Amino acid sequence: MKKLINSLIVLALVGTAISCSNSESGGKSNKGALASSAAEKVYVAPGEHDEFYAFMSGGYSGNLTVYGLPSGRMFKEIPVFSQFPTSGYGYSEETKPMLNTSFGFVPWDDAHHPDISQTNGELDGRWIFINGNNTPRIARISLTTFETEEIIEVPNSAGNHSSSFITENTEYVVAGTRFSVPIPQKDMPIKDYKSNFKGSLSFISVDPEHGHMDIKFQLMMPGFNYDLSHPGRDKSHGWFFFTTYNTEEANSLLEVNASQNDKDFIAAVNWKKIEEYVNNGGGTMMPANYAHNVYDESTHTATTTMKKEVLTVDPLKVPGAVYFLPTPKSPHGCDVDPSGQYIIGNGKLSADLTVHSFDKMIAAIEAEKFDGEAYGIPILKFEDVLAGTVKSGGLGPLHTEFDGKGNAYTTFFISSEVVKWKLGTWEVIDRKPTYYSVGHLMIPGGNSRKPFGKYVVAMNKITKDRYLPVGPEMEHSAQIYDISGEKMELIYDFPTHGEPHYAAGCPAELLKNNAKKIYRLDENKHPYAITSPDQAKVERKGNEVHIYMSTIRSHFTPDNIEGVKVGDKVYFHITNHEQDFDVPHGFSMIGQNSSELLIMPGQTKTNTWEPKKVGVWPFYCTDFCSALHQEMQGYIRVSPADSDIELSWSLGED
């Protein structure tokens, strides 16, 4: 009997092993030492899945696009800072509040730097954050629904560029200002910029459970331009590093006047120290006005709260909190290697990369070896903090990522190439051209303790002849390099949407099993939702008409409505009753001064229509939902404003 049980256990284990190996969807066979072609490396067979997700910022599209690597296929455009008629984001009553700011409704932004949440310095796949550069905002996007859940405006900031990078346990998402401005804003001559303007660096706390953001404090720094930033990690966890330019504090013709100093700074901020200071009651609460927009998945609705104050911190009041590391030639990217030891300043006007040592920085601070100060902030000696210089032979270094195997990869905008070099020895190992003028690059997990160093994606600013010509305006181009070997190999080239400034990638396994398929109708708490078609109704409140409508393949309930009048404001509250994966219904009304709605299973969305003409006007489903999709339509009778026709509604009646 015991023998039988044992053999049954063995059988069960064998079964598990077989089913595990069957479930591997990658299915790539290992060809061993035989070199395979580039085509084979990027080919993902029909029905197979990519190995990595890549989230590319959309730049001036205001959105975030989701791609697969290595195929370069785009899966989704996630609306973040821009109105998106495809789904109704920013048009629907539920999502309009997402785009509220202290300047009113701002339907667009310039989305720059996505960063995936981390735990212990490794990607955890809960959320992705991205900054709006123009009207300073930070957005949080859920990585289960792949929808924007929260946007917080950043007051006292202008050109929210050194953002949105997160600390290694997602304690903070950090947002630094590019432009320095008068704080608080006031009417003053522009030429009085120097020593009067300030640059704010905002530390926005992230609730570990819900992800909700709240500005913990703003550090009021000298009036430089804060260009990019990255968190310390592992040994340097607790510090944050920001590159600066225009330490000259010029207010005009910056391309000349901000390029005079041989060295600008990397600002090293000990946020743990400031956090402690703030937790002990430090800092000054300052009046402010900024929007906090939160989308609730259960009500499918966003709400805006205007916040009225923000805690500011004067760096001089917290000794030991901020130091300046001199860094040559207007550094752009500020990158920290996976060990947290090296801080790389990508001096965009030079040929060389400057690498600072965290250990040397700490030693210099402890020995108080300062080389003067700027606005009271100690400047460390360049030679004391320098770990090494990469003599790259390229021109215009912008950004560096890491492969987790001791190598770094830097983009060179002017010489249009990616250069691979070795951390510690600073020797250049390889260089490959890009097409053309590369800005950012991305290795999945490249901004974490644990990069997945298999591919690097180069995001180029200039496309020109890479694809079939489409007139003067075209999409940008990206290239994928295989970096698994000693030398990089260009394996693919694909267009990207908008202007990707940076991207974040992660292994597909981290997200794909958590992605939501439907919203549960029985969890829908939208105040205008109906959970059964017999609850469908039309109500009049003065000149507002509220239509509670449901959809299921392939009809609207109700689909005939009478009693609407010219001058009314009609609200269509539409609940999709499908509970099947990938069966959305759309809605559009003739003459609507708005966009369509695309309503996912279990979701409720609302759109408005102000009928201007008497008549019988149709609406229809915009998503080809079934074989009877063309039949999914209805009519609204619009009567003159003084008509006494009562509201009525029906489905399937004669």
How near is the Cβ of 61 to another protein at its closest, in Å? 31
Contact 319, 337 (CB under 8 A): no
Q: In what order do the strands lie in the sheet with 585-589?
A: 597-599, 585-589, 615-620, 633-639, 560-565, 648-650
Residue span binding another protein (CB under 8 A) among the ranges 162-170, 320-328, 465-473, 578-586: 578-586
The residue written with tokens 């299921």 in the block is 552
Q: How many residues bind another protein (CB under 8 A)?
A: 10
110, two tokens: 């310039």
CA 603, CA 584: separation in Å to the nearest integer? 9
Task: Give min distance, CB of 582 to another protein, in A.
Answer: 9
> Looking at 64-72, 500-508, 579-587, 636-644, which segment touches another protein (CB under 8 A)?
579-587
Question: Under the criterion CB under 8 A, does residue 289 sit at the interface with another protein?
Answer: no
User: Cβ 274 to another protein, closest distance in Å?
Assistant: 49
Give the residue with the Cβ less far from another protein, 289 or 633.
Answer: 633
CB-wise, 196 or 554, nearer to another protein? 554
Q: Does 552 bind another protein (CB under 8 A)?
A: yes
Minimum distance, C-beta of residue 442 to another protein, in the bound complex (Å): 31
Largest CA distance in the chain: 93
Residue number with CB closer to another protein (594 or 626): 626
Q: Which stretch binds another protein (CB under 8 A): 246-254, 389-397, 487-495, 621-629?
A: 621-629
Cβ distance to another protein smaller for residue 395 or 518: 518
Note whether 623 binds another protein by CB under 8 A: no
End-to-end CA distance of the chain: 73
Q: Between residues 49 and 307, which has the closer beta carbon with respect to another protein?
A: 49
Report the residue from 107, 544, 580, 624 that binds another protein according to the rule CB under 8 A: 580
Shortest separation between residue 626's beta carbon and another protein, angstroms: 8
Q: Which is nearer to another protein, 460 or 551 (CB)?
A: 551
518 versus 647: smaller Cβ distance to another protein? 518
518 binds another protein (CB under 8 A): yes
Which of 389, 579, 594, 643 contacts another protein by CB under 8 A? 579
Q: Least distance from C-beta 311 to another protein, angstroms?
A: 46
Q: Look up residue 634 and give its amino acid.
A: G
Q: Does 578 bind another protein (CB under 8 A)?
A: yes
Q: Which span sits near another protein by CB under 8 A: 91-99, 372-380, 432-440, 620-628? A: 620-628
The residues pairing with 2 across neighbouring beta strands, listed in sequence order, are none
Radius of gyration of the chain (CA): 28
Please state the closest distance from residue 77 (CB atom) to another protein, in A: 23
- How far is 447 from 65, CA to CA, in rounded Å? 19
Nearest distance from residue 531's CB to another protein, in Å?
13
Contacting range for another protein; rule: CB under 8 A; set: 14-22, 78-86, 543-551, 624-632:
624-632
Distance of CA 159 to the CA centre of its chain: 16
Examine residue 48 and tell whether it contacts another protein (CB under 8 A).
no
Q: Which two tokens stand for residue 496?
A: 């990207």
- Residue 147 half-sphere exposure toward CB, CA atoms < 13 A: 21
Instruction: State the DSSP string of 212-264.
Output: -EEEEEEEEEES-EEEEEEE--GGGTTEEEEEEE-TT---S-HHHHTT-SSEE
Residue 600 CB, shortest distance to another protein, in Å, is: 14
- How far apart, in whole angstroms, are the C-alpha atoms of residue 328 and residue 411? 17
Q: Stretches 498-506, 559-567, 614-622, 626-634: which one binds another protein (CB under 8 A)?
A: 626-634
Q: Which of residues 466-505 bind another protein (CB under 8 A)?
A: none
Q: What are the structure tokens assigned to 13, written together?
A: 């284990």
| Mode of pairing for the β-strands spanning 633-639 and 560-565 | parallel
Name the minimum Å distance from CB 578 to another protein: 8
* 3-class secondary structure, 382: helix
CB atoms within 10 A of CB 273: 16
Q: How many CB atoms lie within 10 A of CB 123?
A: 26
The amino acid sitting at 457 is: V
77: its two tokens: 């455009």
Q: CB of residue 510 vs another protein: minimum separation in angstroms?
A: 21
- State in angstroms the smallest separation of the CB of 284 from another protein: 54
Query: Minimal distance in Å, beta carbon 583 to another protein?
Result: 9
Degrees (nearest 5) of the Cα angle 447, 451, 456?
Answer: 85
Pair 297, 211: CB distance under 8 Å: no
- Using an 8 Å Cβ cutoff, are 601 and 583 in contact? yes
Give the nearer residue to another protein in terms of CB position, either 163 or 551: 551
Q: Considering beta carbons, is residue 470 or 628 the nearer one to another protein?
A: 628
137-142 and 122-132 beta bridge pairing: antiparallel
280, 513, 627, 644: which one binds another protein (CB under 8 A): 627
Residue ranges in 111-150 that form contacts with another protein under rule CB under 8 A: none
Q: Which amino acid is at 453?
A: G
Q: Which stretch binds another protein (CB under 8 A): 8-16, 72-80, 416-424, 574-582?
A: 574-582
Q: Which of 49/422 has CB closer to another protein?
A: 49
The Cα–Cα gap between 538 and 632 comes to 19
Check binding of 49 to another protein (CB under 8 A): no
What amino acid occupies position 381? Answer: K
| Distance, CA of 161 to CA of 224 (rounded, Å) | 13
The residue range among 113-121, 354-362, 556-564, 577-585 that interacts with another protein, by the rule CB under 8 A, is 577-585
Q: What is the dihedral of CA 494, 497, 502, 505, to 10 degrees?
A: -70
Smaller CB separation from another protein, 359 or 631: 631
**Eight-state DSSP code of residue 362:** H
* Helix (H), strand (E) counts: the chain: 7, 45
CA 69 to centroid of chain Cα atoms: 18
For CA atoms 422, 428, 432, 435, the dihedral sign is positive
Given the complex with another protein, which of 102 and 579 has the nearer CB atom? 579
Residue 633 beta carbon to another protein: minimum distance, rounded to whole angstroms: 15
Out of 316, 515, 616, 628, name the contact with another protein by CB under 8 A: 628
Q: 139, 198, 456, 501: which is closest to 332 by C-alpha?
A: 501
**Which range, of 191-199, 409-417, 572-580, 584-592, touches another protein by CB under 8 A?**
572-580
CB nearer another protein, residue 9 or residue 628 = 628
Strand, coil or helix: 523: helix
With CB under 8 A as the contact rule, which of the stretches 29-37, 361-369, 604-612, 623-631 interacts with another protein? 623-631
Which of these ranges, 52-60, 290-298, 434-442, 576-584, lies near another protein under the rule CB under 8 A?
576-584
Which residues here bind another protein, judged by CB under 8 A?
518, 552-553, 578-581, 626-628
